Amino acid sequence: MATKILMVCLGNICRSPLAEGILQSKLPKDKFHVDSAGTGGWHADELPDSRSMKIASKYGIDISNQRARQFQVQDFHTFDYIYVMDQSNYQNVLQLAPNEIVKSKVKLILDEITPNKKAEVPDPYFGGEDGFEHVFQLLDEVCEQIAKRLIK
């Protein structure tokens, strides 16, 4: 059965769609399923932010097939790993956890490269295109590390 990884941010239109597309591009499709969701539901069914689609496409990744959705309690059972972008996502997801066991699936994504630093992938939504380049580079680095660990 495929290993399932869920990327979570607030709106599921900027950061987590990029994380989904980047990690997917580094893993064999037959063995891994990567998805993303937002803790908020305001953007449900929307395309990723045009700036996320643009930066992904600059690096050869097409995320235009994605549509936003809200994180749901069932995701704790469906997914093996749940990566959140920042502390507020972390708190929002943990609040929904039905038991302690599933809480251990939830990790701050940048802990994979800088453990215990509580580093966050900054929300680029209200900023300019530079922010999206920065987010892409951060996610590319951490997804490379996650993919290496998952494949070995």
Active site residues: 9, 15, 123
Q: Are 8 and 92 in contact (CB under 8 A)?
A: no
**13 near ligand 4NP (CB under 6 A):** yes
Q: How far is the CB of 33 from ligand 4NP (least distance, A)?
A: 21
Q: Which two tokens stand for residue 137?
A: 């580079």
Binding mask 97-136 for ligand 4NP (x = CB under 6 A): --------------------------x-x-----------
Q: List, in sequence order, the alpha helices (H) in 42-128.
A: 50-58, 75-78, 87-94, 100-103
**142 near ligand 4NP (CB under 6 A):** no
Choose the binding region for ligand 4NP from 8-16, 27-35, 59-67, 136-144 (rule: CB under 6 A).
8-16
| Measured distance CA(21)–CA(13) in Å, rounded | 12
Number of alpha carbons in the 13 Å side-chain half-sphere of residue 118:
5
Q: Which two tokens stand for residue 43?
A: 């953007």
Q: Which of residues 14-43 bind ligand 4NP (CB under 6 A)?
A: 14-15, 38, 42
Choose the binding region for ligand 4NP from 6-14, 19-27, 56-64, 69-77 (rule: CB under 6 A).
6-14
Token pair 């803790």 in the structure block, residue: 39
Alpha carbon 135 to chain centroid distance? 11
For ligand 4NP, the binding residues (CB under 6 A) are: 9-15, 38, 42, 123, 125
